[in-house]
Amino acid sequence: MKIIRLTDENLEEAARAAAEALAQGGIIIYPTDTIYGFGVNALDPDALVRLRTLKVREQKKPVSILVPTIDHIERYGELSPEARAIAERHLPGALTLVLPATEHAPKEVLLNDAVGIRVPGDTFSRALGAAFGGPITSTSANRAGIPTPRDIQSMIEHFGPDIEHVSVIIDGGECGGGVSSTVISFAHGDTPRILREGAIPREELGY
């Protein structure tokens, strides 16, 4: 396990190191604009199994993915005009869009042919997405059902010996307010539905 303390000077280098670990099938922990996240290559089924095992999460439960820009969303999810308007208003930021999946979306992260997609508002996450060049899982770095630790020392204590299953940890200091992204669904032609109210309040979204 390698821990990289993130600074303004090493952001790109840290992103490349994390991206290399992803390409080799590894699990990373990285800071986002909300909480620390677990990242694996979302196109690697074996890495997804290891991730869910580490989180003690059901193997078939969906996992959101991270992409670096709004333009990348359409490779994996279908943006309706209303979904695009929300994306352009709030992304990059603490919002996850649940969209009808395209043929390029990783099948192992879907639920009912829908995919959750994030474009985080922090510079490291976007640098990581750009360095890796593919979809990265964006799921909280915690045991399922337990609050996500806000700093790396607490993270190490949280996972105990199992932290050794993580290849690279990007230490960005205390992360966010411990509040996850808001999740809004545009799947299957339904009226947009807020599935989880998080960092962006319902009133701000207008639903």
Can you give the CATH number for the domain in which 8 is found? 3.90.870.10
168-206 pLDDT per residue, tens: 999 999 986 668 899 999 997 667 999 999 889 999 988
pTM for the full predicted model: 0.92
201 contacts 114 by C-beta, under 8 angstroms: no
| Rounded Cα gap, residues 85 and 105, in angstroms | 21
Cβ atoms within 10 Å of 176's Cβ, excluding its own: 18
97-138 pLDDT per residue, tens: 999 999 999 999 999 999 999 999 999 999 999 999 999 999
Closest residue by Cα to residue 52 from 175, 163, 117, 139: 139
How many domains are contained in the chain? Answer: 1
70-93 pLDDT per residue, tens: 999 999 999 999 999 999 999 999
Range of the domain at 48: 2-205
59 — pLDDT class (breaks 50, 70, 90): confident
